[in-house]
Structure 1
Amino acid sequence: MPFVELEAGPLAYEDTGGDGPVIVLCHGVPMDHRVWRKVVPLLPGMRIIAPTLPLGGHRLPMRPGADLSQRGVAGILGDFLDALDLDDVTLVLNDWGGGQFLINDGRTDRIGGLVLVACEAFDNFPPGPAKIMNIAGRIPGGFSLLLRLMGLRVFRQMKRGYGGMSVVGLSDELIIDWFRPAMADRRIRRDFIAFATGNPSRAELLRLSQQWRSFTKPVLIVWAAEDRLMPAVHGPRLEALYPDSRLEVIEDAATLVAEDRPELLAELIADFASANVRFPGRPRAQPDVAPARRPRR
């Protein structure tokens, strides 16, 4: 897997290449690019780039002292787009919603449109069940204990945790592999703790979220009807917040929509990216208005 050296450290990524619209797929905690493994083959002709962000599942440790707070990781994502010299990117966020902080930092020049797929928003950083990571990271030895608990299948597959992030169910082997880097490498564990304890206060999160309305480019909001982590009301709230936005609610899907409904999600992303890519002298296409709720076919 190729990687790029950033100021914060090395960042690995997958890149399908190609001349089509550029789509950057971002993952949650402590996942990696494989959360999109069912979707990427369904996007032929697009240039798909999937970085493995330093959210605990990465295998290349960041430099000591790197800012791995919520806004710090958003900055790393912005540096990644700069390093690859990407333009008119369709930026897709799922689970982790911190990429929206690029708006607060005035770093959206390379972004042509946002796709927010069942992700953190407003004051939901981190979502309720994930707050245990924040608490464990602040207690000496607490995070190591949490990682040891993840070695127990009954803990890994709890419905209020990773077991509830997908309707069809996450592979136990995949969850283990996502946590393995932090279990095996104290430097990755250091990075993971830095992120887990680096969320702004609730008041600050709400203040920052109000600035997102300044992003006037197209935004597609894809919310999951069976989501246990992202409040159902946040989908409509985001639609009302972003000036040029559209909401799709997907049935039979939880947080990891790419796991549960890959065909439908790929269709939505492809249509959105194709409609919003800009070509010299060609006006931006206007997508058809889709129904508010998309049932399983």
Structure 2
Amino acid sequence: MPELPEVETTCRGLADVLVGRRLLNITLRRKGMRIPFPPGLTSSMVGCTVSEITRYAKYICVHLDNGYSALAHLGMSGRMVITNSQVQPGIHDHVVFDSENDVRIMFNDPRRFGLLTITKTAAIGNHKLLSHLGCDPLAYQFTPEFLSARLKNRKLSIKAALLDQKIVSGIGNIYACESLFRAGISPRRMAKSIGGNKVISLVSSIKEVLTEAIKAGGSSLRNYAQPSGELGYFSQNWQVYGREGLYCYCDKNGKRGIKVKRILQSGRSTFYCARCQK
């Protein structure tokens, strides 16, 4: 599933080609995806100019000059593909956006867990898809004090807490594993036990990992590439994720036999080093 860095990369790629341009046509090639397309979706967008494209947690927000914003979520396998009107949509291209300067955006999603809807820009934070979401980890409000308060008395693992979108929004499995490794915190630890220097290190690690991943264009997941078609290369920097059975980087030569482990937590794979993370 595309996580915060992949969605941020998508937003930036779309902004480069859409901001300041008018949407000429929108083709809905099915009745909906995860949820039905709302009535008035196309009429609220066609003829309008894109004023800004931002990210809200894992949502793409396309703000229009008529006071409306489109909300898109990539789901498990979705991606936005930038092309031109000469390229015809394929079987998994469910929405086609045509704008000025012969720019065509195709919302491709083989598994159809993504979604697209419309809302008034002024009320976007109150939309039912967004109103329950926690603080964005790259926002200035996401501080050690903030996270410490949200973890207080939480009787769940710190890994599960980071995946709880009501606590902090946008972090997924990959970046939770990588952030915990960088902070030296075991994913098995109870969330309520993370305080003091540990929570300071964790907040710093989360921001660093996400920022580095965005600069790298995200991670090349099975169904994800940047809108331009380029692959993200942060996966080359994974320290623990997907490295089960390989020697940890604290034991590069394998002389001490320290390997990355994988456990299941709430049905999700967690990768960590038992020596580095306490």
What's the TM-score, normalizing by structure 1? 0.25
| Structure with the largest fraction of helix | 1
Q: Relative CO higher for 1 or 2, CA cutoff 8 Å, sep ≥ 6?
A: 1
Structure with greater proportional strand content: 2
Using the size of structure 2 for normalisation, the TM-score is: 0.26
**Structure showing greater Rg:** 2
